[in-house]
Amino acid sequence: MEERQQSQEEKREARRKRRIRNQILSYLVLIVLILAAAALIVLAVRKLKDDSSRQQEEQEETQSLIDDLLAEEGELETPSPETPSPEPIVEQTPEEKLDAIVDAAIDVMPLEDKVAGLFIVTPEAITGVSKAVKAGDGTRDALSDNPVGGLIYFTQNMQSEDQLKEMLENTKNYSLYPLFLAVDEEGGSVSRLAASGLAEKVDSAGKIGQTGDPANAYQAGVSIGTALSGFGFNLNFAPVADITSVDNSYMEDRCYGSDAESASAFVASMVQGLKEQKISACLKHFPGNGATTQDPHTGIAVSDRTAEQFRGEEFEVFRAGIEAGADMVMVSHMAAPALTGSNEPCSLSPAVVTDILREELGFEGVIITDALNMGAISEYNTSADAAIMALKAGCDMLLMPEDYEEAYNGVLEAVQSGVISEERINDSLRRIYRIKYADKVAE
């Protein structure tokens, strides 16, 4: 019994050992299989890497060959950093060139010179002499101290051809800035050169208007312009664009007549004749001195014309002159309550100067006052106040103040204190210098 029990236990032990041995063998086989699989994976990865490297090398070799071939054919350049293409050169228009010249000139001007450049005065006003007939050291010093925008000459300044030519040439050469050299040469009774015997006498506008042929006004412009340019003048305060729209008009025969349509043709023709001789024309006296019987030279002059009458007649004559190419328009000291709402002189009225002439009629040239020493201004205002009011109204230039030094100092102080901005002065100078430098730009 005991032997049988012992035999069974030995068998059980033997089975346990075989089971353990089989488990160990199984584990060993599994480990071998795992190792083998890992080895295979490593080999596969290496093969893939080798294939990829070989493929990359082949691609690089192929690209290198292609590059070499293209380079040999001149179809491939050595790569270089990209450089920006040069900006295309845009050709400036004559207008843009002129603006650039004008802006450059104004930028370098001190404020004192800018203010002086707004004035046109007699040579006596800056030299202090009683009658200027030559330009020497006194004129040189005067223009250095007072670089005005222009000088206006009268019969008393004109003695002979040689004297006048030399005086104007010297004056021009002594000025640091280009000058307007101006005169009143309308024809008829207002003709400074003809009155001094230095130019052919031209009929008055009234007589020319009576011919009914605007070609006669053109010929008058050519004749006057030729004489003026020959002496060295470059600005004529003409033609008169007023019409005798009231009975006993104080303008008498200085107008081409009373009919706006007819006068328009004569005014445009004279402007054309002056321009062809390189003389700047100045239309006068906006909105129309012919609309009053009173003379603003001696005191206040008032017109009772309605706004509709001015727009339907006087304005049309000035519009014709503007369209013909007039560089300037002179504003009258006449009062026109229908346009301003008061008896203030038109030259000091923003409603007339800016709202109507600049904006409504679209005039882009220089607006200048009539002579500020006239009674309509000087009896009611100081020279400084009149100059400041005219500029604030929109005028660009100030003609012949009663006291130039007072007017100049008044405007200068107004700009320095901010009553008038320097940019406002610059705007006027741009219009002035566009005329003065127009010949610097080739068409």
pLDDT, tens digit (0-9, with 9 covering 90-100), for 159-168: 999 999 999 9
Query: What's the pLDDT at 76?
Result: 40
Three-point CA angle 412, 326, 286, nearest 5°: 65
Q: What is the pLDDT of residue 71?
A: 47
Which pLDDT value is given to residue 90? Answer: 72
| pTM for the whole structure | 0.80
Q: How far is CA 231 from CA 107, 120, 167, 363, in A?
A: 32, 19, 9, 29
- How far lies 213's CA from each of 26, 210, 239, 377, in Å? 134, 8, 16, 37
- Pair 114, 106: CB distance under 8 Å: yes
pLDDT of residue 47: 53
* Residue 159 confidence (pLDDT): 97
Query: Measured between alpha carbons, how far is 121 from 385 in angstroms, rounded to an integer?
Result: 17
Q: What is the pLDDT of residue 50?
A: 53
Give me the active site residues, please.
297, 370
Q: Where are the alpha helices (DSSP H) in 302-403?
A: 307-309, 315-324, 337-340, 350, 375-378, 383-393
What is 94-440's CATH topology? TIM Barrel (3.20.20)
Of 268, 267, 380, give the one whose Cα is nearest residue 333.
380
Beta partners for residue 80, in sequence order:
none
- Cα separation, 424 vs 427, in Å, equals 5
pLDDT of residue 39: 52
Describe the crossing of helices 383-393 and 422-436 by its angle, rounded to 10 degrees. Answer: 80
Task: Collect the ranges in the chain with pLDDT lower than 50.
Answer: 4-5, 8, 15, 19, 22-23, 25-33, 42, 45, 48-49, 51-52, 55-56, 58-63, 65-79, 443
Burial of 53 (0-12, 13-18, 19+ CB in 10 A): exposed
Domain ranges of the chain: 1-57, 94-440
Report the pLDDT value the prediction gives residue 440, as an integer from 0 to 100. 81
